[in-house]
Structure 1
Amino acid sequence: MTTEENTIEDAAVLEAAVAAVRDAGRRLLARYSEDARPADRAGLLAAAGENERTSNDELRRALAAARPQAKWLTDELETTELPPGEWWAVDAVEGNVNHVHGLPEWCVSATLLRDGVPVLAAVYQPVPDVVHSAVRGGGAFANGRRLSVSAKAELGAAIATTGQAEAGQSDTYRRIGESITTMLGAALLVRATVPSTFPMLLVAAGHADLFWQYRPTLPGVAAGALFITEAGGTVTDLAGQPWRPGSADILASAPALHAAALATLSTVN
């Protein structure tokens, strides 16, 4: 299949993916309340589990119908190099912890990867009803508005963002803390938030200037990596090599800031 044929086919798959994430998001919105406040961990986990069940099955069926040849990413592949072929990297309730606490930063995301490269992504944020979409080579959009990364060239004027790694990674937690301290001395402002897709979308839209994370999981960064690249940004690992599934870390930024951000974070071991 030619590149042009792939692009046309991917655009059709993206349309189906957008419909699928919107449908899942609407089901989750029916369960959402700004007044939600879980009283304990058990209540939090129960609500989060019900959210997953509400979103996942129908979402999976819709995406499988849109691209039958694509495999479904499993937990054991979320932090490793992907085998060849097409894979769906999906988060049926990204930011689930926010949903169950009555916060608006949650979404449904679906990214199709081909031979380790994100080629299309759909992210739906029901609150406040924003669809983000991107096809490789076709740009990145929010409700139809083209996204573009920041034009900043001075790290001292940058809004830097990072995200929390998977639970149980004590050495990674140390690196997160040290990297935030280091970046606080170099950037204008540093934010730490979850889930990863939201700060990455801010970078793609130029509202923030760079994002880094240690031990990222693929569903958490695949969509954001595509959005930032299609918005004109640069995405690598923290050694400056092209980011790929299985990379131990990720740095995504406006192009003119990338070298300075790499140099700053290189001091964290």
Structure 2
Amino acid sequence: MKKHLLPLLAFFLLMCSCADDAELPEPEKKYYLTRKVSTSEFPGGQTLTIDLRYNYNEKKQLSSITGTNQRSGSASSAINILYSYDAQDRLVRIQYSPELMWDITYNEKNQVDKQIRTSKNTDNSTEIHYYKNSYSASGQRTSLQMWNIIDGAEVPGPIYTYTYTNGQVTFMHGELPTGGTYNNYTFVYDDKKVPLQGIYQLSVPTLIMQEIPRQILADHNLVAHSKTENYQGNNYSFEATYQYNDAGYPVSSIRLWHEGSIERINFTYEN
């Protein structure tokens, strides 16, 4: 009897093992953005093409973005953005050029504390301003205070506060340190993956040299965004549509800007 049971037991264990293997979900593929090409057409007929290549180190951390910025009627300019990390694999510097860089510091809870912008002018003078982040007891970012360094003294700038919906920032209010509204932002997202997950969107805004530190809070792609500014009247808005791959990453996008500009973006990945 035992001789008959042993083969049956072995067969049973083998089948259970196969069943367990069949039930194991396939690991989710991670896609790495390797190229982004953005072409903008403006109402006056001018065009702007930004062609970016994304490079990674041996840890698959973004190490640099290289490419070109080509405006119609002008010579092409080179883009070379470098990323530096500390021993804990935290992003600590984004260097746009020898004259412009962002340094990122962290608090004792490993949260982003400051984003410090340093730029050198043509007369070799240096300009510094930084954004100081504040958090709730639960760890949610609640506000962002801008500070300018003028003659060695810290001068307060606008204060930004955030409103969340389902864990996403959907409204940001900027207030002048003297009181009164500076500007307001609204954000609407899709439910898909962003091309550079885990990478600060500060480093990859729509226009490569534009400062948008608030986008560090976005976990999904913007389908609508607007800004109203009381201080200088620099208002804008756009609506966007996307096409996605099977993994949920955008492969193309069209942004329609309020003044009539159209921006077309194509994304390329490897996995």
TM-score, normalized by length of structure 1?
A: 0.30
TM-score, normalized by length of structure 2?
A: 0.30
Higher fraction of helix: 1
Higher fraction of strand: 2
Tell me which structure has the larger Cα radius of gyration: 2
Higher RCO by CA contacts (8 Å cutoff, separation 6 or greater)? 1
